[in-house]
Structure 1
Amino acid sequence: MRIGWHIAFWLGAAAILLLLLWLCWPILPPFIIALALGYLLDPVASWLQRLGLGRLMAALMILAAFMIVLVLLFILVFPILGHQLSSFIQQLPETLNKLQSLLEQAGNWAGQQYVGPVMKRLGLAGGSAPDIRSNVESLVGDAARTAGAFLNSLVMRGAAVISVVSLLIITPVVAFYVLLDWHKMMAAVDSLIPLRHRETAHQLLHEIDVALAGFLRGQSLVCLFLGLWYGLGLSLVGLNFGLLIGLSAGLLSFIPYVGSLAALVISAIVAIVQDWPHWQLFAMAMGVVLAGQFLESNILSPKLVGDKVGVHPVWLIFALFAFGSLLGFLGLMIAVPFAAAVGVLLRFAVRRYRTSEFYLGMPAWLAGPPPPPGIAAKKQIESRS
């Protein structure tokens, strides 16, 4: 009965929490971002305290540094990005028309040179070059419309809940107070944990902290490097909108797979349209992007992020799709940290299950520590043979 009441209590508490989050979701993004900033910057504030500063002065210095960086971005970077974004929007219809024309030419050439003869040899009379070209164009058009609808959904739903005013005004203020009272907030939460479960809760929170801190801080540095690498590299090779594409791809690199794919596809399209029929710009742009991806996957991510997330790639992709569908762009941003935290809890639940009387078939104190899963499976196979 006690276990049933405990389960009912926690399920009810979780349901109430989810209901409150659902009701307050439109106003939550600035506060979520502020909590993330407070969590990320707490080690910096603690380091400043060890140097002799008070917590208030440390928080004020961090806020002042943030405002200085923001002002420099407004003065030096944002005007260039605004100009490139305006030019990109104006030239987008012309770029798409030229891309469609190039695809039609490529389809005609491929149909006449390769696809048409192969279809004739196979005895498929309907597989003429014009039919193949029209099918390819239809497929490309459907894919473009699907991708456009998906991106528009993400942008519109993200824009509906994240306004410029909330990000630039509310978020820094809330982040300042969160950073100022971070230790008090954590102490208040810790005081609510039942005493007999406090050691277990501390262990779980430590594992979650290691996973989140490793990913958030490491991935933030990876995003910063990739944004600068893509932006400066694509600009130096002469690609139109290179800084805009590079910094946007670097920001999107916080979402696994999305930033790299965006940099690769958009850079390839712009380079082909800009420099056709030559391939020098395309080759240089692809060299910049592929070099950045090589550095990310082989040097930066293993060193800065490593395997701290502890989530299988399949479940990570599932989390990205699920959160992106439910919560838009902000959902994509929080999918990986949430998946990392859930992964820690699930691994803890599996460990508890393997030491339970239900799994062992006898009281745990009689069975002793369970063998690792691989050894247990091996013994079971040997006993059957």
Structure 2
Amino acid sequence: MALPVRQQVLSWSIAALVFLALLWLLGDVILPFVVGGAIAYFLDPVADRLEAMGLSRTISTAIIALVAVFVFIIAALLIIPTLIQQTIALGEAIPQILSQLQAFLSERFPSLNDPESTIRESLATLGEMIRSRSGELVNKVFASALGVINAVIFIIVCPVVAFYLLLDWDNMVARIDDLLPLDHKATIRKLAGEVDGVMAGFVRGQLTVCLILGTFYSIALMLVGLQFGLVVGAVAGLLTFIPYVGSLVGGTLSIGLAIFQFWGDPGWIVAVALIFILGQMIEGNYLTPKLVGDSVGLHPVWLLFALSAFGTAFGFVGMLVAVPVSAMIGVLVRFAIGQYRGGLLYRGLSGSRPPPDEEAR
């Protein structure tokens, strides 16, 4: 006989509280394992595809590991140092850009030449603050991250965890399936399949979109000669994870830089704008429908709230688990709504009136 509903709710609530408590207490400790698990989940379809081609799971995992090592070496030698240099250089160049902006505004609005002008003082203060703290900010970000994570352990543990999880992924899923409560196994499997569908559609798909667009923006902006094009492209690609934010922020930043760099040559400014227009068209008409799909069910507002809430409560680890937890909550909420609409409370005492979706049929 199944447990009463009240006891089931209590049991699952305790399990959720234990999970949140462990996340809060062991956040920094479990970070390499969370990242390793995310990498294994992301690469599992690749391993499955290689297995379908006739390779064993071990060989498939080894091939993926070798490719990952190669990509990491290339990034460490070529991309990451350039990205850091351009980020620091951009911080140093912002005061000059603000000075040019101030000169431009002064020509159009002579009142700004007044030494006591509020806008003039604000621009000068902002420029000095950014110049003095840009390098310090970058150094602090990297230093704090390395101090919290313990870089050596992270660099070693994370790939090892990802490798072994990827190698044994199917077996772990089978073991977890064997531990499911027998009375609810079919329902849990259905919900887990929906969660996996959301995760596969959003996380895997959106990360792929971010990588493609970030690469496209960076290469295209550097080809037209925009200074700091690599940084702007990387920022735009990273923020693409949030719909429309990446193209909006990246486009505004790149066009602003292009105006000051190519002032007097509007053709290049138009070229920079066309890059983001083209990127948005590719994302909206091909990448997102093909890789993410329309049935993900993660609203941008809900995603922003989940990232903010979990990031504030649990730090960087919380931000990593925010998407899967929010996907799981979304699936459970939809399941609860379905149960409610099929229940007596919604349909009334007669129980003869079908839900609106069934009436439409």
> Where on the TM-score scale, by shorter chain, does this alignment land: which range?
0.7 to 0.9
- Once structures 1 and 2 are overlaid, which stretch shifts more, 16-25 or 319-328? 319-328
Q: What residue identity is the alignment partner of 2:50? A: L
User: Structure 2: which amino acid aligns with 1:35?
Assistant: G
What is the root-mean-square deviation in Å for CA atoms of aligned residues? Answer: 3.6
Superposed, 1:43-54 pairs within 5 Å as 43-54=45-56
Q: What 5-or-longer segments of structure 1 have no aligned partner?
A: 117-127, 377-385
Q: SS at 1:240's partner residue?
A: coil
Bigger drift between 155-164 and 193-202 goes to: 155-164
Aligned counterparts of 1:129 and 1:64: Cα–Cα separation in 2: 61
**Do the aligned partners of 1:104 and 1:137 also contact (CA within 8 Å) in 2?**
no
Aligned mates of 2:161, 2:281 — CA distance in 1: 38
Equivalent position to 1:30, from 20, 28, 32: 32
Alpha carbons 2:298, 2:330 under 8 Å: kept: yes
Cα distance per residue 1:195-233 (max 9 Å; x no partner): 110000111011111111111222232122212211110
The residue aligned with 2:253 is 266
TM-aligned CA deviation for residue 51 of structure 1: 3.4
1:350 is matched with which residue: 337, 345, 360? 337
Partner of 2:102: 104
The partner residue of 2:179 within 189, 192, 207 is 192
Where in structure 2 are the equivalents of 1:1-385 lying within 5 Å? 2-75=4-77, 77-78=78-79, 81-83=80-82, 85-90=84-89, 92-93=91-92, 95-112=93-110, 134-135=118-119, 138=122, 161-162=148-149, 164-276=151-263, 278-328=265-315, 331-332=318-319, 334-362=321-349, 367=351, 370-372=354-356
2-side partners of 1:243 and 1:306: how far apart? 28
In 2, Cα distance between the equivalents of 1:109 and 1:137?
A: 17
Letter of the 2:33 partner, please give it. F
Q: Deviations over 1:269-304 (max 9, x none)?
A: 432333345444433222212321222123211222
Q: Once the 2 structures are TM-superposed, how far is the Cα of residue 166 of structure 1 from its aligned partner?
A: 4.6
Report if aligned partners of 2:31, 2:149 keep a CA contact under 8 Å in 1: yes
User: What SS does structure 1 have at the residue aligned with 2:26?
Assistant: helix
Amino acid at match of 1:48: L
Label 1:341 to 1:145 Cα distance change in 2 as closer, same or farther (>3 A): farther
CA distance in structure 1 between the partners assigned to 2:218 and 2:18 by the alignment:
45
Decide whether aligned partners of structure 1 residues 368 and 200 sit closer, same or farther in structure 2, where only a CA change above 3 A counts: farther
Amino acid of the structure 1 residue aligned with 2:218: G
Distance 1:211 1:357, change over 3 A: same
Residues 276 and 14 (structure 1 numbering): CA distance in 2 closer, same or farther, change over 3 Å? same
1:168 and 1:179 map into 2 onto residues whose CA distance is 17
In the superposition, relative to structure 1, how do residues 172 and 265 fare at CA in structure 2: closer, same or farther (>3 Å)?
same
TM-score normalised to structure 2 length: 0.82
- How far apart in 2 are the matches of 1:48 and 1:189? 24
CA distance in 2, matches of 1:341, 1:214: 13
> Residue 97 of structure 1 aligns to which amino acid in structure 2?
P
Residues 119-169 of structure 1: CA deviation (Å, up to 9, x unaligned) = xxxxxxxxx9959952486499689989x99x9898787555445435532
Task: Please tell me whether the aligned partners of residues 223 and 254 of structure 1 are also in contact (alpha carbons under 8 angstroms).
Answer: yes
CA distance in 1, matches of 2:90, 2:354: 65
Larger gyration radius, structure 1 or structure 2:
1
From the superposition, tell whether residues 66 and 279 of structure 1 become closer, same or farther in structure 2 (CA, over 3 Å): same
Within 2, Cα distance between the matches of 1:199 and 1:144? 62
Over 3 Å counting, the alpha-carbon distance change for 1:7 and 1:333 in structure 2 is closer
1:214 and 1:358 map into 2 onto residues whose CA distance is 34
TM-score, normalised with respect to structure 1: 0.78
- Aligned pair count reads 353
Aligned residues of 2:206 and 2:288 also touching (Cα < 8 A): yes
Alpha-carbon distance between aligned partners in 1 of 2:280 and 2:321, rounded to the nearest angstrom: 22
**Identical amino acids, percent of aligned pairs:** 39
Alignment correspondent of 1:381 = none
Conserved? CA contact 1:355–1:369, under 8 Å? no
